[in-house]
């Protein structure tokens, strides 16, 4: 049912555009101890956008070593995806770990917090899956803890969805549909289609929560409307619910879903 991906649905990369200004006034060969991390970051992002990923990697590494959170995040993503360099999940894990250790207590409302919370989500993904041939072994309990921190402290929708799935499936601890519904609701209210589908399923079936067929079908219908074509499980889940709902339940749920979508 759940789609596994260490970095699904990320919006953070689009956000770094606000930090990249005009082309930096120096090149990678000019990086030295006097270079400000923000200047190196700007140069790295400009280089990346222009297709010079080698220059981007050098400049971002410089800024990351100076503790710049955005540079650390982007550098970690490049290693995780093999983007402009050989893929190296363990290197990405180390970068995200350093970033999380340094910024775990940052104010969650500040501009860099989305990158910090996403680093936690990435770390949770690595512990959820493990990294072959390294000392990072699958540790579902640790993954649940990391997702829980990002979900609660940073209010990260991605982490809230991941945590909801783990509670729903009983991964990393006891199965707890009530907690699954709680975390799915938080992500669903942020517009996440997977979270809406999971919440709708729990409510419609009354799985560990009081059954609310109309509300459940409403969330399933909203999720279907926003789902990607590849999210076949969402379509199937909504269609099954429609097939067993009463006519009154269907009519009321569809009306509520329409009202919700009209307000978006």
Contacts of 65 (CB under 8 A, 6+ apart): none
Distances (CA, A) of 185 to 29, 76, 179, 215, 230: 50, 30, 10, 12, 22
Span 221-235, mean pLDDT?
Answer: 95
Enter the DSSP assignment of 18: G
pLDDT at res. 178? 97
Check pLDDT > 90 for residue 29.
no
DSSP 193-206: HHHHHHHHHHHHHT
Span 217-240, mean pLDDT?
Answer: 96
pLDDT at res. 37? 83
pLDDT at res. 16? 53
Check pLDDT > 70 for residue 28.
no
pLDDT confidence bin for 126, thresholds 50/70/90: very high
Check pLDDT > 80 for residue 101.
yes
pTM > 0.95: yes or no = no
pLDDT at res. 228? 93
pLDDT confidence bin for 38, thresholds 50/70/90: confident
Mean pLDDT of the chain: 90
pLDDT at res. 33? 62
Span 115-131, mean pLDDT?
Answer: 97
pLDDT at res. 111? 85
Cα dihedral 81, 83, 87, 88 sign? negative
Distances (CA, A) of 259 to 246, 248, 249, 252, 256: 20, 17, 15, 11, 5
pLDDT at res. 9? 40
Enter the DSSP assignment of 245: S
The 10s digit of each residue's pLDDT in 127-181 is: 999 999 999 999 999 999 999 999 999 999 999 999 999 999 999 999 999 999 9
């Amino acid at each position: 049912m759940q789609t596994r991906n260490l970095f699904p649905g990320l919006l953070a990369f689009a956000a770094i555009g606000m930090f990249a200004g005009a082309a930096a006034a120096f090149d990678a060969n000019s990086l030295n101890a006097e270079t400000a991390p923000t200047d190196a970051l700007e140069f790295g992002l400009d280089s990346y956008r222009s297709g010079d990923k080698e220059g981007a990697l050098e400049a971002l590494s410089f800024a990351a070593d100076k503790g710049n959170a955005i540079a650390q995040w982007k550098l970690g993503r490049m290693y995780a995806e093999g983007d402009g360099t050989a893929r190296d999940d363990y290197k990405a894990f180390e970068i995200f770990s350093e970033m999380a250790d340094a910024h775990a207590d940052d104010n969650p409302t500040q501009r860099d917090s989305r990158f910090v919370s996403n680093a936690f989500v990435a770390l949770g993904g690595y512990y959820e899956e493990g990294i072959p041939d390294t000392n990072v072994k699958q540790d579902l309990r640790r993954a649940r803890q990391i997702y829980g921190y990002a979900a609660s402290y940073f209010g990260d929708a991605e982490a809230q969805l991941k945590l909801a799935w783990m509670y729903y499936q009983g991964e990393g601890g006891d199965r707890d549909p009530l907690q699954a519904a709680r975390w799915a609701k938080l992500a669903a209210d942020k517009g996440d289609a997977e979270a809406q589908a999971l919440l709708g399923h729990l409510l419609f079936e009354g799985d560990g929560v009081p059954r609310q067929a109309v509300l459940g079908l409403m969330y399933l219908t909203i999720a279907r409307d926003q789902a990607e074509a590849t999210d076949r499980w969402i379509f199937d889940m909504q269609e099954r619910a429609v097939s067993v709902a009463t006519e009154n339940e269907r009519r009321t749920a569809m009306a509520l879903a329409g009202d919700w979508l009209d307000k978006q």
